[in-house]
């Protein structure tokens, strides 16, 4: 989803930097830097909403860059994704580093793009909320942010709200409490089956009412479980020739492991790029 989220990508490896810039440019306003000193100057000049930064760089490393920026009131408010090796993440980095996410090197470009997109979508949603009309309801198009991306963003932001979806006369209501789906309705369907029915939607509109509440609890799976099981159903439907899959029984195990972007074929995976360094 192209939007006004400002993204600063920092890596001393020119190939990694170029590949990430190309992949992320459709999703955000991307600026790049080849080292932490260059990034510091660019961040002071134009504060990013999201910093995607390599941890291990010559001179100032990624954590030191984050600490310097957060120490200045004018540049303190941004999200962070740190790219680091498995050893560095386990032994040198900790939750106290306040990164929103970690990308373990080496990583596949498509996986990294999907992971970073989740944070971009969350930031975009928060920006929309800040500019909401006086009634406090955020309105948008599912062509800009589809149902899966919306739900992932609400989960990451631990939001409590009522999500209303409409598409060609069909309507669905989904209630979140601290990022977890608690109740959903779609016509006569309630709970998990109602959510599964709308995950395929990429057209229509959505509304977010952050004052919307319910005391009903009809879902059996948590938000991630609903997405994973819903993606499994979408993949199953695609394999069966595009027919609509029947919803799984409530409480069915989440068998899928694919993130947002269901139905990825083997050919796409084979064309992916492994990045390291």
Two structure tokens written together for 82: 């740190």
Q: Report the CATH superfamily, name and number, of domain 6-126.
A: Response regulator (3.40.50.2300)
Residues 6+ apart with CB under 8 A from 37: 59, 60
Two structure tokens written together for 29: 């306003």
In this prediction, residue 1 carries a pLDDT of 45
Contact yes or no for 58/35 (Cβ under 8 A): yes
Q: Taking the model in full, what pTM does it have?
A: 0.76
In this prediction, residue 234 carries a pLDDT of 83
Query: Helix, strand, or coil here: 165?
Result: strand
Task: Specify the pairing of strand 79-85 against strand 101-105.
Answer: parallel
Beta bridge partners of 275: 107
Contact yes or no for 193/242 (Cβ under 8 A): no
In this prediction, residue 98 carries a pLDDT of 61
In this prediction, residue 45 carries a pLDDT of 94
In this prediction, residue 117 carries a pLDDT of 93
Beta bridge partners of 140: 206
H or E, element range at 173: strand 170-177
Closest CA to 140 of 121, 116, 159: 121
Residues 6+ apart with CB under 8 A from 38: 10
Q: For residue 79, how many C-alpha atoms fall within 13 Å in the half-sphere facing its CB?
A: 22
pLDDT tens string for the chain (277 positions)? 446 899 999 999 999 999 999 999 999 999 999 999 999 999 999 999 999 999 999 889 998 999 999 999 999 999 999 999 888 888 777 766 668 888 999 999 999 999 999 999 999 988 888 877 777 788 989 988 899 999 999 998 899 999 999 999 999 999 999 999 999 999 999 999 999 999 988 899 999 999 999 999 999 999 999 999 998 988 887 787 655 444 433 333 333 334 444 444 444 444 678 887 6
What are the extents of the domains in the chain? 6-126, 135-239
């Amino acid at each position: 989803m192209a939007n006004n989220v400002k993204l600063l990508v920092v890596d001393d490896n020119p190939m990694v930097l170029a590949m990430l810039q190309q992949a992320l440019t459709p999703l955000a306003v991307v600026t790049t830097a080849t080292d932490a000193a260059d990034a510091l100057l660019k961040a002071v000049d134009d504060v990013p909403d999201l910093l995607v930064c390599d941890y291990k760089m010559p001179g100032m490393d990624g954590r030191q860059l984050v600490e310097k920026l957060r120490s200045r009131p004018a540049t303190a408010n941004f999200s962070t994704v740190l790219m680091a090796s498995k050893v560095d993440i386990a032994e040198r980095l900790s939750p106290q580093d306040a990164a929103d996410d970690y990308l373990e090197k080496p990583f596949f470009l498509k996986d990294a793009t999907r992971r970073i997109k989740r944070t971009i979508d969350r930031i975009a949603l928060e920006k929309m909320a800040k500019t909401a009309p006086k009634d406090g309801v955020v309105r948008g198009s599912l062509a800009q942010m589809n149902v899966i991306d919306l739900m992932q963003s609400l989960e990451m932001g631990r939001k409590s709200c009522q999500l209303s979806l409409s598409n060609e006369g069909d309507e669905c209501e989904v209630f979140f409490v601290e990022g977890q789906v608690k109740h959903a309705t779609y016509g006569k369907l309630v709970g998990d089956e109602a959510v599964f029915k709308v995950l395929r939607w990429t057209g229509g509109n959505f509304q977010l009412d952050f004052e919307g509440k319910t005391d009903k609890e009809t879902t059996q799976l948590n938000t991630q479980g609903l997405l994973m099981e819903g993606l499994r159903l979408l993949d199953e439907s695609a394999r069966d020739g595009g027919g609509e899959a029947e919803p799984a029984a409530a409480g069915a195990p989440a068998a899928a492991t694919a993130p947002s972007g269901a139905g990825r074929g083997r050919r796409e995976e084979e064309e992916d790029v492994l990045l390291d360094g």
